[in-house]
């Protein structure tokens, strides 16, 4: 009898967290995406590009690096906050005056769906294309560039 109480408590918690709360899943997914910002380096690349284009052509690497580092730290912190507070409201994105809720990419690159048999069902026939190495930051080579 004493072993059934922890099992029931775990079952109630799992049921409460997984009972169709779409907002909880969205907040958790957004937080996990934001936590991996230092692996993706999207804010860093975007800030270096934007600083070079609009601010100062000579010192864009250093200034863009500092701005990108600042935004990457902020996005990682927001991600940790959203993962920890995912089960609790409010479920809307936080800190949106400084960061966009979606992951940032440079304006010169928009990612596509990964070339995988899950998304491209014609891979068995040999007609699919896509990013060759989308997991490598800065990889822009595509097999069939149709755009």
Residues 12-62 have pLDDT tens digits of 777 666 655 668 888 988 999 899 888 888 899 899 888 888 887 777 788
pLDDT in tens, 83-120: 999 888 888 888 888 888 888 888 877 777 666 656 66
34 and 56 co-located in one domain: yes
Q: Which residues of 86-119 are buried (b: 16+ CB within 10 A; e: fewer)?
A: beeeebebbeeeebeeebbebeeeeeeeebeeee
51 and 78 co-located in one domain: yes
123 and 67 co-located in one domain: no
pLDDT at 40: 85
Can you tell me whether residue 95 is helix, strand or coil? coil
145 and 127 co-located in one domain: yes
pLDDT at 116: 61
Residue 72 covered by a domain? yes
Residue 11 covered by a domain? no
106 and 147 co-located in one domain: no
101 and 144 co-located in one domain: no
46 and 94 co-located in one domain: yes
pLDDT at 91: 85
Q: How far apart are CA 82 and CA 23, in angstroms?
A: 12
Residue 6 covered by a domain? no
- Structural domain range at position 82: 21-110
Higher pLDDT, 132 or 52: 52
pLDDT category of residue 140 using cuts at 50, 70 and 90: low
Q: Are 68 and 49 in contact (CB under 8 A)?
A: no
Whole-model pTM?
Answer: 0.65
106 and 133 co-located in one domain: no
pLDDT at 83: 92
How many residues are given for the chain? 147
The domain tally of the chain equals 2
């Amino acid at each position: 009898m004493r072993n059934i109480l922890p099992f029931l408590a775990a079952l109630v918690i799992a049921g409460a967290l997984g009972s169709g709360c779409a907002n909880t899943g969205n907040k958790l997914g957004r937080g996990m995406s934001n936590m991996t910002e230092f692996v993706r380096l999207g804010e860093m690349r975007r800030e270096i590009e934007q600083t070079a284009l609009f601010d100062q052509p000579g010192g864009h690497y250093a200034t863009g690096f500092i701005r990108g580092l600042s935004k990457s730290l902020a996005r990682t912190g927001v991600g940790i906050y959203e993962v920890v507070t995912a089960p609790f409201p409010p479920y809307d994105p936080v800190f949106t005056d400084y960061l966009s809720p979606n992951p940032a990419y440079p304006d010169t690159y928009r990612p596509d769906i990964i070339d995988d048999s899950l998304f491209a069902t014609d891979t068995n026939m040999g007609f699919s294309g896509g990013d060759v190495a989308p997991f490598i930051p800065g990889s822009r080579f595509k097999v069939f560039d149709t755009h």
